Structure 1
Amino acid sequence: MKALLCHHHGPAEDLALAELPDPAPGPGEVVVAVSAAALNFFDTLIIRGRYQTRPAFPFSPCAECAGTIAAIGEGVTGWRIGERVAAWLGYGAAREKVVVPAQALVRVPDQLDDAQAAGLFVTYGTAMHGLIQRARLKAGETLAILGASGGAGLAAVEIGALLGGHVIACASSGEKLALAREHGAHEMIDYAAEDLRASLKRLTEGRGIDVLYDPVGGELAEAALRSMAWEGRYLVVGFAGGEIPKIPLNLLLLKGCDLRGVFWGEFVRREPAAHRRNMERLLDWAAGGHIRAHVHARIPVERWIEAYALIGERKAKGKVVLTF
């Protein structure tokens, strides 16, 4: 089988395609024939050794995938060969066949193709956990989202709107904001053309933001924090802007607001039942057409460098998916 491998830390150009033997499932496991493996921003970090997870070499990137069940291990019940499934692995999905614990599988609704299903876990799972468990977003509250046109941002736009939030999409161009509006955003801020803090103050009539969803970090963070409402919740999701900001803690005191970390992978490990409930709710929304799971690009695995560039240069509007 074909696999994209990282043999040492470095840029995407250092990855290599290789032929490996087909895997066999152990007890409680299945083999999934992968048709689509989704990239996330942390995939640009894990191959450089700059992510909290550091797999042993050689490893495959991509944390999530979709395809069909190709083999079933001893003791696995409730699944059959040929069923369409998706799974979150943490890493290792960028290969034609992967071994997955049966308990990690979810069925793919007919309304979603494999590229859409492959991108549901990390971005939508993170948005679900962030907005439900961490922010406890209430209907009618104001939710501002930085980087609202990327995979993480669009997921938060959709989930926030479905939960009844008043969604303010913040992005760096009119084209990106138009995409966020298509996915349910109510208000728009182009922070490349207008001052973020002043715009958030204007759109909230001076009251401030109840929940801020930030997968970007960098220079936008302090302006966003200064825009929080009393008892607002600032969700720290990631640092796609490249820089981890240094937050003036006096702002938390003056605003009476919270900084809350959103570490979805650890949430899955520590609270599997809550994660399962989130995913069941998410898949119900997907089956009902309430979630669009926008795919920016479907790129054959042989062109992985192109796919990584879209993520690393922040050009992706939605998910970037490697196909097999």
Structure 2
Amino acid sequence: MKAVLCEKFGPPETLVVREVADPVAGKGQVVIRIHAAGVNFPDTLIIEDKYQLKPALPFSPGGEIAGVVESVGEGVTRVKAGDRVIAFPGYGGYAEKVCVDQTRITRLPEGVSLVHAAALTTTYGTTHHALKDRAQIRPGETLLVLGAAGGTGISAVELGKLMGARVIAAASSQEKLDFCRAHGADETIDYSREDLRERIKALTGGRGVDVVYDPVGGKYSEPVIRSMAWNGRFLVIGFTAGEIPRIPLNLPLLKGCSIVGVYYGGSLQAEPERGEANMAELMEWFRSGRVTPYVSQTYPLEQAAQALDDIASRRAKGKIVLVTAAGMLDR
């Protein structure tokens, strides 16, 4: 089979495409013929050895895939050969096939797009866990989303609205903010030209925001924490700006707010039953059309480096998805 491999740590252009042996399902495992693989910011980190997940070289990046079950190992009861599924392997998804433990697989309803399904697990799964479990967001609360036009950010805009929040989207251009409004944002902030704190103050009547969804980090985190409402929750999602901020701990004390970590992969291992229930709810929203991941661009598997560069350079709106030869036949 064909696979995109990280043979040495480095930027996207160091990745190579190789022919490798097909995976074989062991006990409790499933081999999936991949049709589409979501491209995510953590993929840009894992290939540079900057992520908490550290697979041994060589490996294929790619933490979320959609495809068709090809074979199952001993003891597998959740799926059978021929089932259409999504999976959350952590890595290994930039390939034509992957072997995944059955606990990381969810069957797909008939009729849904595998390309859109491949964009669901990481971003929408992370956001659903963040807003529901970590923030316990309530209808009528105000949610501020930083980096709101990116794959993770736009999922927060959409799910925040679905959960009844008033959503303020913050991004770096008017084009991106128009995109956010089209996906449900109530208010917007262009933090490339507007004062973030002053704009939050104006939009909330000086009260501040109840929940902040921050996948960006860098220079934006501290002023936002200074703009929290009493009992607010600041969700630490990631650091696409490249800098992990150092937050003065007197701020959560004075604001009466919480800084809450969100590690979706870790939560699935620590609380598998909750994770399974959350995915069932998310899948029902997907099946019914209440949630449809926005895929702005698809690339063939061989152009994985270009896709990762688009993500790392923050050029993408919504999600980018890699499509294999099997996935091309779906079109």
What are the within-5 Å matches in structure 2 for residues 125-204 of structure 1? 125-204=125-204
Per-residue Cα deviation, 1:266-314 (whole angstroms, up to 9, x for no partner): 1110000111111011011011111120112110111122101110100
Partner of 2:77: 77
- Classify the secondary structure of the residue corresponding to 1:100: strand
State how far apart, in whole Å, the 1-side matches of 2:267 and 2:30 are: 24
Deviation at 1:111, TM superposition (A): 4.7
Per the normalisation by structure 1, the TM-score is 0.98
State how far apart, in whole Å, the 1-side matches of 2:110 and 2:151 are: 22
Asked whether the 8 Å contact 1:111–1:289 carries over to 2, the reply is no
Per the normalisation by structure 2, the TM-score is 0.96
Count how many residue pairs are aligned between Structure 1 and Structure 2: 324
Partner of 1:244: 244
When the two chains are superposed, the root-mean-square deviation of aligned CA atoms in Å is 1.1
Partner of 1:293: 293
State how far apart, in whole Å, the 1-side matches of 2:254 and 2:77 are: 55
What are the within-5 Å matches in structure 2 for residues 201-220 of structure 1? 201-220=201-220
What are the within-5 Å matches in structure 2 for residues 279-318 of structure 1? 279-318=279-318
Asked whether the 8 Å contact 1:217–1:242 carries over to 2, the reply is yes
Asked whether the 8 Å contact 1:38–1:64 carries over to 2, the reply is yes
Deviation at 1:52, TM superposition (A): 1.0
Deviation at 1:7, TM superposition (A): 0.8
Change (3 A) 1:79 1:111: same
Asked whether the 8 Å contact 1:85–1:107 carries over to 2, the reply is yes
State how far apart, in whole Å, the 2-side matches of 1:263 and 1:171 are: 23
State how far apart, in whole Å, the 2-side matches of 1:138 and 1:100 are: 35
Asked whether the 8 Å contact 1:39–1:321 carries over to 2, the reply is yes
State how far apart, in whole Å, the 2-side matches of 1:290 and 1:179 are: 18
Per-residue Cα deviation, 1:18-64 (whole angstroms, up to 9, x for no partner): 00121221122211000111111111111011111111011100101
What are the within-5 Å matches in structure 2 for residues 25-174 of structure 1? 25-174=25-174
State how far apart, in whole Å, the 2-side matches of 1:298 and 1:195 are: 35
- Classify the secondary structure of the residue corresponding to 2:189: strand
State how far apart, in whole Å, the 1-side matches of 2:75 and 2:55 are: 28
Asked whether the 8 Å contact 2:4–2:18 carries over to 1, the reply is yes
User: What amino acid sits opposite 1:34 in the alignment?
Assistant: I
User: What amino acid sits opposite 1:192 in the alignment?
Assistant: S
State how far apart, in whole Å, the 2-side matches of 1:67 and 1:321 are: 13
- Classify the secondary structure of the residue corresponding to 2:125: helix
Deviation at 1:102, TM superposition (A): 1.9
Asked whether the 8 Å contact 1:109–1:286 carries over to 2, the reply is no
State how far apart, in whole Å, the 2-side matches of 1:190 and 1:16 are: 38
Asked whether the 8 Å contact 2:79–2:107 carries over to 1, the reply is no
Change (3 A) 1:78 1:246: closer
Deviation at 1:78, TM superposition (A): 4.6
Asked whether the 8 Å contact 1:39–1:62 carries over to 2, the reply is yes
Asked whether the 8 Å contact 2:39–2:322 carries over to 1, the reply is yes
Partner of 2:232: 232
Deviation at 1:110, TM superposition (A): 3.5
State how far apart, in whole Å, the 2-side matches of 1:81 and 1:11 are: 36
Asked whether the 8 Å contact 2:4–2:60 carries over to 1, the reply is yes
- Structure 2: gaps (5+ residues): 325-331
Identity of matched residues, %: 51
Partner of 2:256: 256
State how far apart, in whole Å, the 2-side matches of 1:50 and 1:27 are: 31
State how far apart, in whole Å, the 2-side matches of 1:18 and 1:92 are: 13
State how far apart, in whole Å, the 2-side matches of 1:208 and 1:14 are: 44
User: What amino acid sits opposite 1:219 in the alignment?
Assistant: K
- Structure 1: gaps (5+ residues): none
User: What amino acid sits opposite 2:173 in the alignment?
Assistant: S
